[in-house]
Each structure stands twice: as C-alpha cells, then as structure tokens.
Amino acid sequence: MVTDHIVKLRDAREVLKEMSFETRELQRGYANRVLRIDITKNTVEFLPVTEEMKNLWTGGRGFDLWLMFKEINRNTKWDSPENPICFSGGPLGGTISFPGSGKTLVTTISPLTDSVMDCNVGGYFGPYFKFLGFDALCIVGKADDYIIIVIDGVNNKISIEKAPLESNDSHVISEELTSMYADNELDMRNIAVVSSGRAAEYARMGILNFSFWDWRRGIARMKQAGRGGIGTVFRNKKMKALVVKSLPLNPAWRVVESKMAKTFTDNICTSHCKTDRERICKIIDKWNSNPEYILEMMQDIQKMERYISKTAIDEICKKTGMSKGQLYHIATFYKDFTLKPAGEKVIQVCFGTACHVKGASKLLETLEKELGIKNGETTSDEKFTLEAVPCLGYCSIAPVIKIGEEIIGNVRLKDVSKIISERRGK
Ligand code: FES
C-alpha cells in the first residue's frame, strides 16, 4: 500500500509526456490498433491494424515481426535506438478459453545473435494490455535517463515518466509499482509490471520479467521472457519498467463470454432447477461474496445441491460481480463440479492400471447394465451416478469401486447386483 517510501518515489517523478486514450471493445479478437511509443522523442501514437496485417500475420509473433520489419533497416543493431521491442498477444490473447492464450510474444534484435529473436512469456501484462484495446505495443528509441512507461486503463492515460528513485531490481520495482498504482489490496491484481534488473546492463543475456500479483502470498511474482537478451535491450533503452493497469471488472472479452455462457446455460439447465435460492445465497454470504473464495463457494454449493445449477451461477454472478463466462469455465474445468444433478451416491469405477488388468472394463459394463445407465449418467431416481476414474489408490485390492465414501475391493462381477441392491436401500 502507499507508504512514505512510495510517496517519495512518486514525488520524484517527472512527467515527460502524457496522453489520453479510450479503451476499446474487441471485434473478433482484434482491437484494430497498435500502440507505438518513441522514448527518444517522447511521442505516443496509435497505428491502425489493417486487414492485410490480420490476414497475413494473425497476431502475436506475426504482428511483432511485421512491426519490426517496418522499424528496422539493414544496419540496425541490437543497441541502435531504432531497434524496437515489440509485444503482442494474438487474437485469442486474454481469453480464458484456450491454454496459452494469456501469453505475450516479445520480439527484438538480440544482443546475443544480432538477429531477430522472439520469446513468449506469461504474467498478466498481455491480457491486461489487450483488455484496454490494443493488439500490440512497439517501443522504439532510447531515453536520456531512466524512465517508466505507464498505461493506465482506469484513468485512460499513457505517460512516460522519469523515475530516478525506483529500484533497479526487478522484484523490488515490481512490488513498488504494484503498490503505487493499486487503490487497495484487491486492486493489486490489476497491475502488471514489466522490468529488467541491473544485471542486464552488464550481460548480453538479460531477461525481461513480467509480474503478476500473488494475493495468497502477498507478493509480486514473475514470469520471464528469457531468450535472446531482451532484458539487455530494455535496459539499454534506459527503461526501468513498463506498467499496465487493467480495468478491474469488465474487460471486453467478458461481455462476449457472458453472452456465450447464456446460450450454453439455456441448453444445459432447464427450468426445473430444484435449487434453493436462499440456501445458495447463505453460502455466498458466508464467503462475503468475495470472488477470491469462488472455489470454496462453489464447493459448498456442489456439496449441498450435488451440482452447480443455473440458479447458483446467476446468484454468484450477481453477488460477486464475476462474469458467467468465468463461472462456467471454473465449473467445467474442475472435476469436482458438475452442471447436471449428480445422484445421491456416486459410483466410481477405477480404471487405473491394476484395476484395468483385473477387468475394470467388464466391471463398468456390468454396472451399466445393472443400473440402466451409461458412464457419466445418473439413474432416473437420482440415486446413483456412474463414472470411470483414474487410480483410487487401493491397487492391492483391484478391481476397486467407490460408492460414496465407501471403498469396495476385489469386486467380482457376480457380486455387482447384490452390492447395488444393498446400497439402494441404505
Ligand atoms: S489401479 Fe485401481 S486402485 Fe489403483
């Protein structure tokens, strides 16, 4: 939070350039603009993303290389002012729909090879930058003294500032700047800092660190663009850090995802939700409607209702401010959650190696016949749900099934009927 130290850092800043910008909604994955910042001339420009760029280069590494091609000439070296550092996610950047879509591609001429080098990196910078409505960032030039670039999506300002007192160490400056720009503790997650430490000035292999705020540990953690000495180029340009502050609640993608989630929900959850709205709300209140405890909330609801109903999604969305898209992502990602009501008892059939060689497939088939349902389904009386699972950890008594909390080993096919009828009555 804002301590005397942070106030001192802020007071020592000198704004060299400030410019307003509007955030922008994405259209089919593109914001249709590139941010170009020249730190020699202190200029900020918005360049259009053309149809040709999209068709030929798609985004990410493609956009970076296209921008480099426009900026460099045959004599450009890694430490030439015109050598750009380009950052771009792809058209899927910042969605939470595909693995790897949070990555950013960073490109520059490498001090190690004197040729173009790209590197991909995680952290929050890429998605946050996209949420503000930019497809790529191109930084060119070289500052006279150490500077920081701030892209503030809340106050809609881009600034280039002299930063004489900020730390020269990545992990320290990331925490300093996260504290400086966050309005409160929760807001710290909306800040991403890109930086490189002082060692990068003495070695050609300097890396670039991309921070993300780990709220559990209360520290800024980092991902690295580690290839090719990109950090060395960053420091050579006299850049101390690049900060992006994201919109906290409503990035463009979430709007689209919520629309998709509605279609999805209507197909899955029908009007006969037998849910108890009041009890769901009590659970959400128990966790102070705090999105940080979303998993705990959903686990409690799953336990109570045996599934995550449409009503539950609606109430969580209303009370926590989270988007439906996010909630459905969570509900479908973790095996703990189901979107259809599960039976009173879940019968798990182990398909680990030991159980497999002892006839797990035959056992599942027999259970399917006995219950009149297929793997993954629930009986019409909602007594049992049947599912095949990986090793249950009781390999010495394979084949194994688990009914509710009860482990049953050495199961013989001829015993299946008896096992089920006994549990049906319980
Ligand atoms: S393989 Fe079935 S319990 Fe381990």
Instruction: Tell me what the mean pLDDT of segment 164-183 comes to.
Output: 91
CA distance 184 to 171: 20
Question: What CATH number does domain 4-245 carry, 3.30.540.10, 3.40.50.1000, 3.40.50.10860, 3.60.9.10?
Answer: 3.60.9.10
Q: Which pLDDT belongs to residue 339? A: 86
Give residue 260's pLDDT: 47
Q: Is 392 in the pocket of ligand 1 (CB under 6 A)?
A: yes
Q: Do domains 4-245 and 345-425 have the same CATH topology?
A: no
pLDDT at 93: 85
DSSP 52: H
Mutate to test the pocket of ligand 1, among 358, 391, 410, 411 (most ligand atoms within 8 A of CB): 391
Lowest-pLDDT range, 118-122, 153-157, 210-214, 336-340? 336-340
**How many angstroms separate the CA atoms of 162 and 238, rounded?**
10
316-322 mean pLDDT: 89
pLDDT tens per residue across span 11-50: 999 999 999 999 988 888 899 999 999 999 999 999 999 9
Tell me, in angstroms, the distance from the centre of ligand 1 to residue 409's CA: 10
pLDDT by residue (tens digit) across 248-291?
A: 644 444 444 444 444 444 444 443 345 578 899 999 999 999 98
Please, what is the average pLDDT of the chain? 88
Q: What amino acid occupies position 358?
A: K
From ligand 1's centre to the CA of 401, what distance in Å?
A: 9
Residue 362's H or E segment, with its range, is helix 360-371
Mean pLDDT throughout 174-192?
A: 88
Q: Which residues pair with 193 in a beta bridge?
A: 243
Instruction: Please report, for residues 165, 361, 424, the alpha-carbon distance to residue 378 in angstroms, rounded to integers and kept in the order given.
Output: 63, 19, 14
Query: Kind and range of the H or E element at 172?
Result: helix 170-181
CA distance 326 to 329: 5
25 vs 247, which has greater pLDDT? 25
pLDDT at 261: 46
Assess whether pLDDT exceeds 60 at residue 69.
yes
For the chain, give the percent of residues with pLDDT over 90: 61
Instruction: Indicate whether 325 pLDDT > 50.
Output: yes
Q: Domain ranges in the chain?
A: 4-245, 253-333, 345-425
Give pLDDT, residue 426: 59
CA distances to 40, 98, 115, 156, 422 from 20, in Å: 20, 32, 35, 6, 71
Atom nearest to 391 CA in ligand 1: 4
The atom of ligand 1 lying closest to the CA of 354 is 1
Residues 197, 192: Cα–Cα separation, whole Å: 16
Mean pLDDT calculated for residue range 401-417: 93
CATH number of the structural domain 345-425: 3.40.30.10
pLDDT in tens, 80-133: 999 999 999 989 887 766 677 889 999 999 999 999 999 999 888 998 999 899
Ligand 1 atom, smallest distance to 353 CA:
1
CA 333–ligand 1 middle distance (angstroms):
24
Any atom of ligand 1 within 6 Å of the Cβ of 352: yes
Q: What are the residues facing 48 on neighbouring strands?
A: 33
For the ranges 149-158, 229-238, 268-277, the lowest mean pLDDT is seen at 268-277
CA distance from start to end of the chain = 56
